[in-house]
Chains A and B, each alone.
Chain A
Amino acid sequence: MKNLRDRFPFFKQNSALVYLDSASTSQRVDSALAAEEEFYLRTNANVHRGLYPIAEQATEKYEGVREIAKRFLNAPAPSIIVFTRGTTEGLNIVAQCWGRAHLKKGDEVLLTLMEHHSNWVPWQMVAKETGAVLKFCPLRQSGDLDYEAFEKMLGPKTKMVSITGLSNVLGTWVDMKKIVTLARTVGALVCVDAAQLVAHEPIDVQALDVDFLAFSSHKIYGPTGAGILYGKAELLNAMNPWMGGGDMIRSVSLESSEWNEVPYKFEAGTPNIAGVIGMGAAMEFLMEQDWKALQAHEKTLLELLTEELKRLPFVEVYGVQKWPTHRAAVSFNVKGVHAHDVAAVLGERGVCVRAGHHCAMPLHAWLKTPASVRASFGVYNTEADVRALVGALKQVNTLFS
């Protein structure tokens, strides 16, 4: 993947850096940076407002990203692509705008133990307001989702299944087809937190038949502050907006307003125009890739790291890292050393990994550790990166033992 690394200008500035934190945020691809810069330098104007040529060009570019996202997700129409600030906003829109209107006392929302706080807290907030009950599907010891338990936890009261497509801690991949099939047996909707998944496999929302799906630009090599929420048209149409302001209304009178149509009713205020345009370039970058080659490369890195970590008796790995049901990220601890110390010492040696609870405190409670160290892969990572991490981990162990 040598030529792909060349597409990331960051590594020209930081050629010696070993960046293994793409699950947190990726580096940005050159075309996304160029698209943002071009907007600012050549067609910078607000969207949906100006009548002069550059304002129209800006609007075209910006709206064109819905078309790109439609292809990226194989959505049936660009009009059901909602621009957000990221996954968190997308999931909050689903919880607030769909949940508030549809959940009643005693209704159930089924989540899993490995959800990120952004697919946890919004549902807690809505559950508190509506009296709905949250249920959490457990994991198997391997870190896989316990599908049998999942099936048993579904019932006539289950109205929504909101679930990650790929765990940001254990790298657990979720069989979404199976989840949707099971959810349909009780008539529940399925909302996918695709924050991690989109960077690691192509997604077809129609084939999967999911109802909502959210992701962030900054984890797919695009700029920060932009993201997408996909939703089925009839669901989005029936939902009330959550934030009021410009762009989301059709008409405003003294006391009331008429909402604009989907997707605009969820997009109040001047949006992150440059970020959305950059996100468009990032999605195009991913669509140009040979996914088979990307995944084969990722598998090589995952297996190399897993093998190497097995040889380090002082390292405890969480979950069973077995391709393809585990990918993208490996979490572990160095026995007797706090995760923050491990990451800080690795950082001093030029290896960037994340340490902490990775916004998944309930999962860490289950793992019986307050924090873990996580190495995660992007398309630019190499076997040399993995070896550098392993070498630095040996130094950590020497330092602290």
Chain B
Amino acid sequence: MELYTETIIDLAKNPLNRRDMETATHTASGVNTTCGDHVRLYLRVKNGVVEDASWEGDGCAISVAAASVLTEELKGKRVRTLADFDKAALMSVMEIPTLGPARVKCLTLSLETLHNAISES
């Protein structure tokens, strides 16, 4: 089974939404100490809806692709529905059928950071 599909590699080379956001209403950071991946996530929420989402950071292809896909997915969603967006949902959007134990954290880093960002507000 190939993990490194064209989609993942493309996103790793050309990440989406990787930018600072001065107008963010929600933000949180996360690190994955075992591999040095780090992410800072920004959301701009208005009337309970995510108007914009972006991230800054660095990491392996899986974590960069995950942050890209996640921020893309968030836009236009209602904040109270975000808790339902879980690992399985993210893997499905990224077209990853299975992920070994060593790599799961690369995928969930931005997801956990998102949940921190919305719970801290």
Contact = CB atoms under 8 A, between A and B. Distances in A.
A355 B60 CA distance: 11
A399 B34 CA distance: 24
A344 B104 CA distance: 13
B4 to A, nearest CB: 6
Given A344-B3, A344-B103, A399-B4, A356 B34 contact: yes
A244 B79 CA distance: 54
A341 B12 contact: yes
A339 interface: yes
B56 to A, nearest CB: 16
B13 A338 contact: no
A197 interface: no
B66 to A, nearest CB: 13
B22 interface: no
Given A348-B3, A399-B9, A341 B36 contact: no
A338 B3 contact: no
Interface string B31-70: 0001111000000000000000000000111100000000
Interface string A336-352: 01111100110010000
B103 A340 contact: yes
A370 B35 contact: yes
Contacts of A357: 34-36
A400 B9 CA distance: 7
B35 A400 contact: no
A386 interface: no
The bracket for how many chain B residues form the interface is: 10 to 19
Contacts of B106: 340
B84 interface: no
Nearest to B33: A361
Contacts of A340: 35, 60, 62, 102-103, 106
A324 to B, nearest CB: 32
Max chain B C-beta neighbours (<10 A), residue from A337, A370, A371: A370
The prevalent SS among residues of B at the interface is: loop
Interface in A311-341: 337-341
Contacts of B34: 356-357
A341 B61 contact: yes
Contacts of A341: 4, 12, 60-62
Given A338-B61, A400-B12, A400-B13, A344 B4 contact: yes
Interface in B94-111: 102-103, 106
Given A341-B12, A344-B103, A399-B9, A356 B35 contact: yes
Interface in A340-388: 340-341, 344-345, 348, 355-357, 369-371
B4 A348 contact: yes
Contacts of B12: 341, 400
Max chain A C-beta neighbours (<10 A), residue from B2, B4, B60: B60
Max chain B C-beta neighbours (<10 A), residue from A341, A344, A345, A355: A341
Given A340-B106, A348-B2, A356-B34, 9 more contacts: A337-B61, A338-B59, A340-B35, A340-B60, A340-B62, A341-B61, A341-B62, A357-B36, A400-B9
Interface of A: 337-341, 344-345, 348, 355-357, 369-371, 399-400
24 contacts: A338-B35, A338-B60, A338-B61, A339-B35, A340-B35, A340-B60, A340-B62, A341-B12, A341-B60, A344-B4, A344-B103, A345-B4, A348-B3, A348-B4, A357-B34, A357-B35, A369-B36, A371-B35, A371-B36, A399-B4, A399-B9, A400-B12, A400-B13, A400-B61
Top 9 nearest A-B pairs (CB, nearest first) are A370-B36, A338-B60, A340-B60, A341-B61, A341-B60, A340-B35, A371-B35, A371-B36, A345-B4
